Chains A and B, each alone.
Chain A
Amino acid sequence: MRITALLAGVVLAATALTACGGGSDSSAGDAKVPDDPAQVKGDLTYAIWDVNQQPAMQQVVKAFNAKYPNVKVSISLATFDQYFTKLKTQGSSDNLPDVFWMNGPNLQLFAANKQLAPLDTLLEAKQVDPANYPQALNELYSWDGKQYGVPKDFDTIALWYNKKLFAEAKVAPPTAEWTWDDYKAAAAKLKAALGAKGIYASGDELGNQGNYYPAIMSNGGYVLKDGKSGYGDPKSIEGLQFWSDMVKAGYTPTAAQNAETPGRERFFSGKAAMMWNGNWLVSMALKSPVKNDLAIVPLPKAPSGERKTPIHGLANVMSAKSKNPQAAAAFLAFLGGKDAALIQAKAGAANPAFNGTQTDFVNSAPYALTTFIDAASSYSEPYPVSKDTAVWNKLETDLIAPAFGGDKPMSEVGPDVAAKMDEALGKEK
């Protein structure tokens, strides 16, 4: 039963392709937003992956409808784990949502396969102005000389900690001057004081963006440069080893424990004293039972004295085959505007990409959220992506994550991943 459903899905997707290929060639990219908003009519689907941001997105839709009353937008939510799987399947059958969230790792794949509408017309008409967003993000969402996405927000990584747990363990709270050694020393004390209660010193998810990318970058290593993997670089391996040591010493839960109880849930329920994570968690933090005990400082520095964080941001994009290209273009332009940015900022949903609207985000929570914005301007590095990022991201999940704290030293794991990743990168062209 279940397998036939899956098979039927694949087959229907394939048949739909042959059936309606070439049907709608009225390129959505040429869609201009008419001057009279009442003329814009139609139904749109808007796909997102973060349940924490859904209320803010609904408010944005409401504000959009105040201007464009004849467009009906329905938000479709899928968890991040399944989001791009779903989109790829929808794309195979020309059924992509009209407007949807896009991330850096997937932009080139979708753009190169003609799934996204280029924004030429919107940019010419000044309905979307790249000058409003950080340059790094415009670049992340451009491919082959054309811009495909309107930056929505940006994120960097900082150190979240629980003041109450530090006080309870009588450990001095982290400062911006901390190094990795200070971090480990504090973790040892936290473990001694709180470990018996099932509380972890550093309840991290051992993810790439939040944990080992910043460690590698801070240490002077790299993930991807000039089409080559950096996992074989000794500096990168030291970055991986930092987390491996944290797990081995019992300061950080293992990848297996994270699969059972995700790190953020542990941290936000007071079962972990520290966590390296991004500013996309602010609305979750505000809803957590420990919301009054939380604080944020910059990440600890690598032994070299350097500190780096990847910077990444989401964008809103438009399907190349939207059935209502005008309405979709109007909505996309609205999403990229100042009003939409302010709504998200006030709700603490995300740190908006629109220049000058971040103050409301910083004020949305009693934590030092400027840390994330300062990080972006003073010590951030571009988020590593290639044309088919998902392929080597899977190598990271399958090979690196389970090795943290395991028996295999990172000096073996790193070169192994590098070889496989280089092979995958070679196949991209």
Chain B
Amino acid sequence: MSRRRSADGRWPWLFVLPTFLGVLVFYLWPLVKTLYDSFTETGPFGGSTWVGGANYSQLFADSEVYRAVVNTVVYTAIVLLGIPLAVLFASLLNRPGLRGVMIYRTLFFLPYVAMPTAISLVWRIIYNGEYGVLNQALGVVGVDGPSWITTPWFALVAVALLGLWMSIGFNMIVLSAGLKGIPGELYEAASLDGASQVQQFRSITVPLLTPSIFFLSVVTTIAGFQLFDQLFALLGPTNPVMPKTQSLVFLFYDAAFVGNERGYAAAVAVLILAVVGLLTLFQFRFQRRWVNYD
């Protein structure tokens, strides 16, 4: 009897072991190792020496870091604007009796499934200042478009608009799941009371969607702070606006893989982790004020 019980105790462990090992090897160990590396200086092909807090004092003295933080915040703010848009689109798509819903959903979701790099290369052509489709379209209405990806600020906006466009599909899927959870009786009762469509949207749809909106804002902020691939592929590493447009992760890439300063890169990674952690904590604290869980 006692034998069997001890076996019972072991079985569950066996089942969680693969996940546990995965977490250990791919999450915890890199975390510890990165923390350690951020206090060292590494040679071009490995081998490291302990330098204490030198990487961090370099980090806080570097004006590029502050600029990268600002760029990353601006980018994230613009991509966050995709959430209200997605709320609007999702509730429009959720209207009963709409034809071709699947086609619309597919169209909105496609950018999310496609590879960010491939998409960025297509948008690189769209944004081209001389031959790009976007500026040709703007030219039709008499606007002389800028060189989107090589003008400071426009380049950041161009990257952010691409990020926004790519995120809308995912946002809509999450939101339409949220919409399905809103009981139809609420709308029936509201229309019996004479509430207009807009009133219903404001007073029923949005408040009841707040849990989904909260989830999206947390996820979008985290993703925003990890901006790298669109930026790299859309602008190109030798773009002269890059020093003004780079994100924190780009800084990390530049230090780790181009400059071969792995210790400094690890310090940048720790900074990103700290900022994202703080922002997420803040969002969780703040949610009580506006998220509706009943």
Query: Which of B43, B128, B238 has the most C-beta atoms of chain A within 10 angstroms of its own C-beta?
Result: B238
**Pairwise interchain contact B27-A88, C-beta atoms closer than 8 A:** no
Residues of A within 8 A of B46 (CB): 13-14, 17, 92
Contact call B33/A109, Cβ cutoff below 8 A = no
Q: Mask for A32-76, Cβ within 8 A of B = 1, else 0?
A: 000000000000000000000000000000000000000000000
Is chain A's interface secondary structure helix, strand, loop, or mixed overall? helix
Specify which of B37, B45, B150, B269 is in contact with A113 (CB 8 Å cutoff).
B45
Within 8 Å by CB of B249, from A3, A85, A109, A114, lies: A3
Distance in Å from the Cβ of A55 to the closest Cβ of chain B?
23
Tell me the A82-97 residues at the B interface (CB within 8 Å): 85, 88-89, 91-92
A-B CB contacts (within 8 Å), total count: 107
- In the assembled complex, the Cα of A6 lies from the Cα of B238 at a distance in Å of 21
Checking A3, A15, A256 against B269 with a beta-carbon cut-off of 8 angstroms, the contacting residue is A3
Within 8 A of B (CB), among A234-291: 255-257, 259-261
Q: From the candidates B37, B147, B226, name the one contacting A14 in the complex (CB within 8 A).
A: B37
Cα distance, A261 to B249, chains bound together (Å): 26
Question: B149 to chain A: which residues have CB within 8 Å?
Answer: 259-260
Give the B interface residue count (CB, 8 A).
47
Cα–Cα, bound, A109→B131 (Å) = 41
Does B169 sit within 8 A of A, measured CB to CB? Answer: no
On chain A, the residues within 8 Å of B73 by CB distance are none
The yes or no answer to B241 lying at the interface (CB within 8 A) is yes
**Is B237 an interface position by the 8 A CB rule?**
yes
- Asked if A6 and B252 make an inter-chain contact with CB atoms under 8 angstroms apart, the answer reads yes
Binds A, one of B7-15, B86-94, B258-266: B258-266
Closest 10 CB pairs of A and B: A256-B150, A402-B240, A17-B46, A259-B239, A11-B30, A3-B226, A85-B257, A113-B45, A11-B33, A91-B45
Across-interface contacts of B59 in A (CB, < 8 A): none
User: Is A147 close to B, CB under 8 A?
Assistant: no
The 8 A CB mask of B226-243 against A (1 = contact, 0 = none) is 101100000111111101
CB distance from B262 to the nearest CB of A (A): 6
Contact (Cβ within 8 A) A1 B226: yes
Give the shortest distance, in Å, between B72 (CB) and chain A (any CB). Answer: 12
- Taken together as a complex, chains A and B put the C-alpha atoms of A388 and B256 apart, in Å, by 16
The B-contacting residues of A in range 1-27, CB under 8 angstroms, are 1-4, 6-8, 10-11, 13-15, 17
Complex alpha-carbon distance, A7 and B29, angstroms: 11
Interface residue from B150, B226, B262 paired with A260 (Cβ < 8 Å): B150
| Given A2-B229, A3-B269, A259-B238, residue A92 in contact with residue B45 (CB < 8 A) | yes
A8 and B259 form a contact (CB under 8 A): no
Contact of B27 among A3, A4, A6, A394 (CB under 8 A): A4
Answer yes or no: A198 CB below 8 A from chain B CBs.
Answer: yes
Give bound CA distance, A248 to B4, whole Å: 85
Residues on the B chain within 8 Å of A6, using CB: 228, 249, 252-253, 256
Point out the residues of chain A lying under 8 angstroms from B144, CB to CB. Answer: none
Q: Which of B129, B131, B243, B269 contacts A7 (CB 8 A)?
A: B269
B130 within 8 A of A: yes
Q: Please state if B272 and A81 are interface contacts (CB–CB under 8 Å).
A: no
10 A/B residue pairs, CB under 8 Å, sorted by A? A2-B229, A10-B37, A14-B42, A14-B46, A255-B240, A257-B150, A260-B128, A261-B130, A388-B44, A401-B240
CB of B176 within 8 A of chain A?
no
Judge whether B200 is part of the interface by a CB distance below 8 angstroms.
no
Q: Are B130 and A2 in contact (CB under 8 A)?
A: no
> CA–CA, A402 to B27, complex, Å?
40
A113 CB contacts on chain B under 8 angstroms:
43-45
* A115 in contact (CB, < 8 A): yes
Residue B167 at the chain A interface, CB threshold 8 Å: no
- B34, B147, B236, B258: the one within 8 Å of A10 (CB): B34
Contacts of B130 in A (CB 8 A): 198, 257, 260-261
Known: A4-B30, A6-B256, A11-B37. 18 other contacts (CB 8 A): A1-B223, A2-B226, A3-B272, A6-B253, A8-B30, A10-B265, A11-B29, A15-B29, A15-B33, A81-B236, A81-B238, A85-B257, A88-B257, A256-B150, A256-B241, A388-B44, A398-B243, A401-B238
By a CB distance below 8 angstroms, the chain B residues around A10 are: 30, 34, 37, 256, 262, 265-266
Q: Which single residue of chain B is at the shortest CB-CB distance from A391?
A: B259
Residue numbers in A under 8 Å from B241 (CB-CB): 256, 259
Q: Chain A residues with Cβ under 8 A from B131's Cβ?
A: 261
Q: How far is the CB of B272 from chain A (nearest CB, A)?
A: 7
In the complex formed, the residue of B with least CB distance to A93 is B46
Known contacts A10-B265, A88-B260; decide if A259 and B150 are in contact (CB<8 Å): yes
Against B, the Cβ 8 Å flags (1 = close, 0 = not) of A109-123 are: 100011100000000
Q: Kindly list chain A residues whose C-beta atoms are within 8 Å of the C-beta of B266.
A: 10
Q: Please, how many angstroms separate the alpha-carbon atoms of A81 and B29 in the complex? A: 31
Q: Is A397 an interface residue (CB 8 A)?
A: yes
Nearest to B30 among chain A residues (CB) is A11
Minimum Cβ distance to chain A for residue B115 (Å): 12
B45 touches A88 (CB 8 A): yes
| Chain A positions 383-429 with a Cβ under 8 Å from a chain B Cβ | 388, 390-391, 394, 397-398, 401-402
Residue picked from A6, A85, A88, A261, most chain B C-beta under 10 Å = A6
A85 near B258 with CB under 8 A, answer yes
Closest to A271 in B: B130
B120 CB → nearest A CB, Å: 13
Chain A residues within 8 Å of B150, by CB: 256-257, 259-260
- A 98-110 to B, binary, CB cutoff 8 A, 1 in contact else 0: 0000000000010
